[in-house]
Amino acid sequence: MASAAVQQPGGHSTSFEPLTTQVQGTKTTQAEKHHVRTSLNYYKDPGDGCPPPPTYVGKPETYERPSEPLEVTIHDIRGEEDQYTLDGQGFQIHKHTSVEKDFLDDEQIKAQYYPEVEQLLKDV
């Protein structure tokens, strides 16, 4: 789970209202673009393949998860919203067709699919 707060000048941390600026002596409302460099915290997988321990409603001691910060830039796309979609830019999924189709034979999976996945991860 990622979390971030963006502080806008002249507003509170969740304010995305357009900023008011002076343009040639006339007061006008104009959306100024602000790209924000921040750190997002992502779940840090322990690497042993086991799932994280469950969380229980009303038991805050079970909510903690190891996290790993990742430095990112959050881009302000106001006025350009029509150029972006969740499918196109929201998730960067690399389309790849595997040689393995059935996933029934463990030996064939280990021989063909595992090296294929390893190569995909190296290419990312």
Tell me the pLDDT of the chain (124 aa) as tens digits: 444 444 444 444 444 445 444 444 444 445 688 899 999 998 888 888 888 888 999 999 988 888 899 998 988 988 888 888 877 776 554 556 677 777 888 898 888 888 888 888 887 6
Instruction: Tell me the backbone φ, ψ of residue 106, rounded to 5 degrees.
Output: -55, -40
Q: Are residues 16 and 72 in the same domain?
A: yes
Q: Looking at residue 32, what is its pLDDT? A: 80
> Do 73 and 121 belong together in one domain?
no
Structure tokens at 70: 């990742």
- Model pTM score: 0.39
> What is residue 78's three-state secondary structure?
coil
pLDDT at 59: 93
Residue 57 in any domain: the answer is: yes
- Residue 41 domain boundaries: 1-83
One domain for residues 48 and 102: no
Identify the pLDDT of residue 36: 92
Residue 45 CA: distances (Å) to CA of 57, 82, 105: 22, 35, 28
The reply to whether 27 and 51 lie within a common domain is yes
